[in-house]
A and B are shown apart, each in its own frame.
Chain A
Amino acid sequence: MTFFQSFGKTLGATIIFLSVCWIVVLIAFPIIFLVKESFVLPKHKSDKTIISSIVGDAQTCVLILNTFGEDKPPYVMQCERANTSAIPPKYNVPLMSIDANASVEDQKAQAQEIISAVQSIKAQEPRGYGVDNYFTMKPITLKILITTLVSGFMVTALSLIICYPVAYNMAFASNPMSRLWLFIALITPYSLVELMRIYAWASILEDYKQYSISVFLVLVYVYMLFMLFPIYNAMTSLHRNQIRAAQSLGASWVDIHRKVIIPHCKSGIAVASIMVFMLSASAFSVPRMVSRGLQGEWFAQTIYTKYFETSTGSIGAAYAVIFTSVCFIAVIAFMRRMKVKANDFTGI
């Protein structure tokens, strides 16, 4: 039966409408607006503002000078500020300034000249959009980006090594009763708020917080379930008879893993690795809490601080786009290498 036969026109349309709402309002539009925002140049002082501030300074200078009559004026800040050095060269305004050693009358005349010269400029509004945000990355930020990606990769590898034997144990080597208790044992720590678990580890690893291995360990711990369950699901779909057949044919346990189990579970291992990589590369709270500043910053923290640098967060948006694209490329490269297609994952 087709979709609309099963659900009828109204219900089917409602289901499609809700899904479209989810995709459009919660996923697509935010991403589109984020990318659009990354192209917005942060507002430098517009030329209009510069002009009006010079005019204001010159006018205030004249006002102050008027109170001194013929006496030699002391230092007046506005008179010093009223010069045309801040005006961009494209307007072809000669460099004019007020000479502090001249007489009061001369200074007032100079101020008037500046006002009339500057007010005649037709100011151009700054260009709103451009790709400049993407090239503002300093070398140290690039270093943080690369370090974060490498660390994400190492956390994934560590997590795979730690969780694979446990998944194997759960899938093949235990009876249903102990499997159930193992399930409960795995879920219970996850009832805690993630931050509490991180804090508990932070207090245990108090003496080791300057080594990166401590952050890696905590990340492995926090995202363990994401690594364990896809591999476990993939392993349970492998029939035990295949392993027994391999054993009866004389395969060692290394060969059984390498030639029977791992090729069968390839998509499960791949999806688990992708999830753990994305989650750990974008780790935000864990490095901050475990290392308490003694180790390098991770890239998600950089995005956070850069976001509040401009009023609309465009630089943070650009960094976010860069980071997501790089992670995405890494994931696609990984999937190509493992010869896993996107279609294999549906249904895990």
Chain B
Amino acid sequence: MSRVLLHIYTGIFLLFLFSPMLVMMVASFNDTSPPSAFNWQGFTIKWYSFFWESKEALFQDNVMKSIDRDRFIRCALTSLHIAVYVVPLSILLGLSGAILVTRLRTKLTSFLWWVFLSPILLPGVVVGLSTLVFWKAVGVNAGIFTIVLAHSSFIAGYCMLILISRLDKFPIEQERAAFSLGATPWQTFWRVTFPFLLPSMLSSAVIATLASVENYNTTMFVKGASCTFATEIGAMTKNVYGHPPVINALGTSIVIITLIFAILHTFAKKSEGRHGKASNVFRRS
């Protein structure tokens, strides 16, 4: 009986999880602004065509002519530009932190773990504020550089967590085997450890990109005069009438793309599982 209750509860929980997404998706097809899923005015895809329509056509619509599409696209590209710097930096730092924590077993290690994770625990405003104050004192004004550094300080922590969980599962015998076969430490790292970590690095790259593009609290402090995707959305929502459903259209597209990727990834993993995990590890050599 309790098992049935548990499953019903999980069902309600999933409903709780998905309802805002569903509301957002439904509202993206609704011909009303501010967006609403309940006040149905008519089916339309004009919120999607916003992104490729010509300027004259946009001007005809009352709502869409007030949106600065060029600025929005410019800010979104700035976000991607920032992510290009943040992702490699975070993975590099996260990797070195992960290796240090898993391999250096001293009394200091636990303290080090907490220090590495502190930017995640600290309030986002404090991370942004401290980065701004430090670089202003050094002479660098707020801008893309400070955004990249502020993001990297805590995103490297996320990467480190993912890499630690993967590194813990690393069969240490492979390293010793490589040494006994005459490999130098660098060769061992590059040909044995690194390929093993590659899937985790890929997933941490995805998470780093998402975390960097969507960050709002910290970015609000360190952005100076520049703008990112998240701050643009935040600015749009300060509008008394709410943001136009263009954002909903964007969100729906992102959800569908992510869903496709997740399903593809699951099927890829399943087919890999059929050939057996062990054969994949040794396939490289």
Contacts and interface: CB of A to CB of B under 8 A. Distances in A.
Contacts, number: 243
Interface in B98-130: 99-101, 103-104, 109-116, 118-127, 129-130
A8 B99 contact: no
B237 A195 contact: yes
B147 to A, nearest CB: 13
A195 B122 contact: no
B180 to A, nearest CB: 11
B123 A7 contact: no
A196 B114 CA distance: 31
Contacts of A284: 124-125, 216-217, 220
B216 A33 contact: no
A192 interface: yes
Contact of B130 (A11, A30, A186): A30
Contacts of B137: 33, 37
A26 B122 contact: no
Interface in A1-57: 1, 3, 5-8, 10-12, 14-16, 18-19, 21-23, 25-27, 29-34, 37
Contacts of A203: 23, 27, 34-37, 242
A8 B186 contact: yes
Nearest to A26: B153
Contacts of A8: 184-186
A282 B123 contact: yes
Given A37-B133, A193-B233, A324 B123 contact: yes
Given A282-B126, A320-B129, A346 B134 contact: no
B210 A191 contact: yes
B259 interface: yes
A94 B48 CA distance: 74
Contact of A186 (B17, B37, B112, B237): B17
B96 interface: yes
Given A162-B13, A195-B230, A3 B104 contact: yes
A289 interface: yes
Interface stretch (A104-112, A208-216, A300-308): A300-308
B185 A169 contact: no
Q: In the complex, which of the residues A3, A26, A169, A347 has the most CB atoms of chain B within 10 Å of its own CB atom?
A: A26
Contacts of A192: 21, 24, 251, 254-255
A188 B259 contact: yes
B92 interface: yes
B214 interface: yes
Contact of B185 (A7, A185, A221): A7
A179 to B, nearest CB: 11
B139 interface: no
Given A10-B186, A253-B2, A22 B233 contact: no
B129 A316 contact: yes
A235 to B, nearest CB: 14
Interface stretch (A73-81, A130-138, A273-281): A273-281
A16 B100 contact: yes
B124 A165 contact: no
A327 B126 CA distance: 12
A189 interface: yes
A173 B6 contact: yes
Contact of B149 (A15, A26, A184, A224): A26
A300 B125 contact: yes
B20 A169 contact: no
Contacts of A342: 110-111, 114
Given A3-B104, A18-B96, A200-B23, A347 B168 contact: yes
Interface in B238-282: 242-243, 247-248, 250-251, 254-255, 258-259, 262-263, 266
Contacts of A58: none
A300 to B, nearest CB: 5
A149 to B, nearest CB: 12
A5 B104 CA distance: 11
Contact of A165 (B9, B109, B172): B9
Given A18-B96, A189-B17, A317 B258 contact: no
A30 B140 CA distance: 13
B100 A15 contact: yes
Contacts of A31: 130
A281 B103 CA distance: 34
Interface in B140-189: 149, 152-153, 156, 164, 168, 172, 175-176, 179, 184-186, 188-189
Nearest to B20: A200
A324 B118 CA distance: 11
B247 A30 contact: no
Contacts of B172: 1
Contacts of B284: none
Interface of B: 2-3, 6-7, 9-10, 13-14, 16-21, 23-24, 27, 34-37, 92-93, 96-97, 99-101, 103-104, 109-116, 118-127, 129-134, 136-137, 149, 152-153, 156, 164, 168, 172, 175-176, 179, 184-186, 188-189, 210, 213-214, 216-217, 220-221, 229-230, 233-234, 237, 242-243, 247-248, 250-251, 254-255, 258-259, 262-263, 266
20 contacts: A16-B96, A18-B96, A27-B115, A30-B131, A30-B134, A34-B126, A37-B137, A188-B259, A189-B18, A192-B251, A195-B230, A203-B35, A204-B23, A282-B122, A284-B220, A303-B126, A317-B133, A320-B125, A342-B111, A347-B168
